[in-house]
């Protein structure tokens, strides 16, 4: 009887355990990364200049942060999803840097990791791991966002069948102006089993050196201003057929798998940002006096700080539970869990940052202090990797009612 109950508890409460070896490994990185972000990263300047200085990028590369989830055999750190989430808490202290690194590895090169051939991995991953090359994920177009099936960028197979000519434009591409390697999604003609020709999405690895690639000026954004975001245009860009990711016509599934695997990291990043904000807000509340009392002595202020701490705890728990499930052997489908993490964390971060500004009062509204930057930076979380109102996210939740996981094609 006891063994049956124990088994049931493990199934219902499958909170992951991290090995001592993994814990020791991640602890070796936490100190240097925290030191770098506290001493070398000037977030105010990054926000004002709308650019991450090259010396800061070089520091990130030297720490190995461009290759956190790339396996060691390709020059990366080989971190699990759990370890990646832990470092994400620290990296999130600067929104622009967090987005730059996430755009590079959570989505930019993720297609090569999860669906690339061994030849593609050997060719591209080492330089992506070192940061010598930076990656970008090119899906969104003027007429399509989360609806990947509606993209218009087209790749036409050459007469000799050895390459594709890529034509089209992508918008709001993170790292678009600094990337060397692009994961690009385009329409291709595919002959089905019945002999009929149909348009289907195909994923490609595209090098900037292939030619025909231009980008617009960096977008002037509300928040995460230091991250590079711009339009990317492809004009008769010749892509070798061996640079197809997965199967020709299988790009829609590749895109959804990339996005599903990346959403979970918003939980730990949001929690990391929120814990830092709680620390700063609580310190202010303990020193600021009104009516001969510290703000921290007022019940309403205590309630707000308690709410923020509670939400950070939940974000963190959701993120690490999902990361642990994703780290299990095989390729578990955690798309529903990742969508839950994305929605809860992004909505809650926005609410909690607003609560913090209420505690800080006029101080929170001034650009001389970092608090208003937290507000501007956190707003993108509700939009990134599918808006919370996106049918993609809503369909993930609908699948729970249907009693099955969200399945793509």
Looking at the annotation, which residues are catalytic? 385
- DSSP letters for 83-109: HHHHHHHHHTTSHHHHHHHHIIIIIIT
- H or E stretch covering 173: strand 163-174
Give the residue carrying structure tokens 């955690």.
Answer: 334
Cα–Cα distance measured from residue 201 to residue 251, given in angstroms and rounded to the nearest whole number: 5
Q: What share of the chain is helix, strand, coil (3-state, %, to 5)?
A: 55, 15, 30
- What are φ and ψ of residue 283, in 5° steps? -60, -40
Q: Other CB atoms closer than 10 Å to residue 192's CB: what's the count? A: 10
Place of tokens 């996210």: 393
User: How far from 278 is each of 281, 325, 360, CA to CA, in Å?
Assistant: 5, 28, 11
* CA–CA separation, 379 and 389 (whole Å): 14
- List phi, psi (to 5°) of 163: -155, 170
Is the Cα dihedral 391, 393, 396, 400 positive or negative?
A: negative
CA dihedral 227, 358, 386, 117 (to 10 degrees): 50
Burial of 189 (0-12, 13-18, 19+ CB in 10 A): middle
β 213-215/135-138 pair status: unpaired
């Amino acid at each position: 009887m006891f063994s049956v109950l124990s088994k049931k508890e493990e199934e219902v409460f499958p909170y992951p355990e991290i090995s001592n070896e993994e814990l020791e490994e991640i602890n070796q990185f936490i100190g240097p990364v925290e030191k770098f972000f506290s001493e070398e990263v000037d977030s105010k300047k990054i926000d004002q200049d709308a650019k991450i200085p090259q010396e800061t990028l070089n520091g990130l590369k030297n720490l190995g942060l461009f290759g956190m989830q790339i396996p060691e055999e390709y020059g990366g750190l080989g971190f699990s999803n759990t370890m990646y989430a832990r470092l994400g808490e620290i990296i999130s202290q600067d929104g622009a840097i967090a987005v730059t690194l996430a755009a590079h590895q959570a989505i930019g090169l993720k297609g090569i990791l999860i669906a690339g051939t061994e030849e593609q991995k050997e060719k591209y991953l080492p330089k992506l791991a070192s940061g010598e090359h930076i990656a970008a994920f090119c899906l969104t177009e003027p007429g399509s966002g989360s609806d990947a099936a509606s993209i218009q960028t087209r790749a036409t197979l050459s007469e000799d069948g050895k390459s594709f000519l890529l034509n089209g434009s992508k918008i709001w591409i993170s790292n678009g102006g600094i990337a060397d390697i692009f994961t690009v999604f385009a329409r291709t003609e595919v002959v089905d089993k019945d002999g009929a020709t149909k348009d289907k999405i195909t994923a490609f690895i595209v090098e900037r050196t292939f030619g025909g690639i231009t980008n617009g000026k960096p977008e002037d954004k509300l928040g995460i201003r230091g991250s590079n975001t711009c339009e990317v245009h492809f004009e008769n860009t010749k892509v070798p057929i061996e640079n197809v990711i997965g199967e020709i016509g299988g790009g829609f599934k590749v895109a959804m798998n990339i996005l599903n695997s990346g959403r979970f990291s918003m939980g730990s990043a949001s929690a990391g940002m929120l814990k830092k904000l709680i620390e700063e807000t609580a310190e202010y509340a303990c020193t600021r006096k009104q009516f001969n009392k510290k703000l921290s002595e007022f019940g309403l202020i205590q309630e707000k700080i308690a709410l923020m701490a509670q939400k950070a705890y939940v974000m963190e728990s959701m993120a690490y539970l999902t990361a642990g499930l994703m780290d299990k052997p095989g390729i578990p489908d955690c798309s529903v869990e990742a969508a839950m993490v994305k929605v809860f964390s992004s909505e809650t971060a926005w609410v909690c940052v607003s609560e913090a500004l209420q505690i800080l009062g006029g101080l929170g509204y001034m650009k001389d202090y970092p608090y208003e930057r937290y507000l501007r930076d956190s707003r993108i979380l509700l939009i990134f990797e599918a808006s919370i109102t996106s049918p993609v996210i809503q369909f993930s939740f609908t699948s729970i009612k249907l009693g099955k996981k969200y399945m793509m094609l």
